[in-house]
Amino acid sequence: MASLNTDQTGAIFIEMRRSSAYIRKAADLKVLGLIPARAGSQGLPGKNMRPLLGKPVIAYTIDAALAAKRLSRIAVTTDDPQVLQLCRQSYPDSVIALKRPAELAGNTSRIDDVMRHACRLLCEQDGFRPDAVALLYANVPVRAAGIIDRAIEHLEATSADSVQTLSPVGKFHPYWLYRMDQDRIHKYQDNQVYRRQELPACYYIDSAVGLTTWKALFAAEGDPDPHAFWGPDKRALAQPAQETIDIDTYRDLLLAEAALREKQTPSEPPAS
């Protein structure tokens, strides 16, 4: 079983086995699947461990990572004792659980600092140095099947610094947004587009997968730009609308439940 250790800085972490239990299918590109799961949440407290159709929200991300063929190892970084316990009890031989120090678990903590901390722990404790890190947020229980592997393949094909998944903004397009001056409204961006079909393509980062190279991640250390770790050559992998749902509010949780039920329900045959 995994055990708790304390390093010289006082940070507590889960001791990682040195066996091959955590080592997955070998590939030319070594990719760490890293799942951040901070305990604090202002929008929906305890969201990562909220029950969703019989299992915790975070379990869907862990299971998606385990289903991916191109991840070399999978780790969860968290300050939540419940998440640590879940990893130890339900995924003892497949997921490395890392105890995140308090200074990296606050509302203003930067995700790239969290990623570098996890990478350093793995490298120091087990000698594992990935070529790239796949950021897989714990509060995203709905992802398209195979999207993690597709992102890794796109990174390989392009030799880019990073790949992020994007989804179309739909009816919340900037052309159809407004500013308010008291009760007067003004178009956010001047345009004469009134038909949806004429809107120019516009996307948002949907957080299904964020993949960055080790080189880009560590080159950005100390940079004041919190997004510098994606590197100068940033690529995208576009998805259809509604393939991804991330949970920040109770309504998001209900939407995720509906989406998962829809995935579990066979499509109705076309009307004759």
Residues 183-239: tens digit of each pLDDT: 999 999 999 999 989 999 999 999 999 999 999 999 999 999 999 999 999 999 999
Q: Is the pLDDT of residue 267 over 50?
A: yes
How much is the pLDDT for 51? 97
Helices of type H across the chain: 57-67, 81-90, 111-126, 147-158, 214-219, 250-264
| Full DSSP string of 5-38 | EE-TTS-EEEPPP-SGGG-----SS-EEEEEEE-
Contacts with 201 (C-beta within 8 Å, 6 or more apart), sequence order: 168
Structure tokens at 145: 């099947």
pLDDT surpassing 50 at residue 34: yes
How many other CB atoms are there within 10 angstroms of residue 26's CB atom? 7
What is the reported pLDDT for 270?
55
Measured CA to CA, the distance from residue 172 to residue 175 in angstroms comes to 8
pLDDT of residue 266: 66
Q: 269: pLDDT confidence band, cut at 50, 70 and 90?
A: low
**All domains of the chain in start order, with CATH:** 4-168+205-251 (3.90.550.10)
- Residue in the block written with tokens 């250790």: 5
Residue 244 exposed, middle or buried by CB count within 10 Å (0-12, 13-18, 19+): buried
> Model confidence at 268, in pLDDT bands (50, 70, 90)?
low
Query: What CA–CA distance (Å, rounded) separates 118 from 126?
Result: 12
- pLDDT tens per residue, range 121-143: 999 988 999 999 999 999 999 99
Q: What is the DSSP letter of 268?
A: P
pLDDT digits (tens, 9 = 90+) for 3-23: 444 443 334 344 444 334 455
Whole-number percent of the chain with pLDDT over 70? 88
What's the CA gap between 244 and 142, in Å, rounded? 5
- For residues 221 and 218, give the distance between their C-alpha atoms in angstroms, rounded to a whole number: 5
* Per-residue confidence band for 271, with pLDDT thresholds at 50, 70 and 90: low
Q: What confidence tier does 119 reach under pLDDT thresholds 50, 70, 90? A: very high
Average pLDDT value for residue range 98-106 = 94
Residue of 153, 86, 154, 124 lying closest to 5 (CA atoms): 124
Q: Which residue type, as a one-letter code, is found at position 242?
A: Q
Only one residue has tokens 């209900």, namely 254
CA distance 13 to 34: 15
pLDDT at 40: 82
Residue of 189, 192, 162 lying closest to 177 (CA atoms):
189
Q: Looking at the DSSP assignment, which residues form a beta bridge with residue 31?
A: 132
Q: Residue 259: pLDDT band by 50, 70, 90 thresholds? A: very high
Which DSSP state fits 189? S
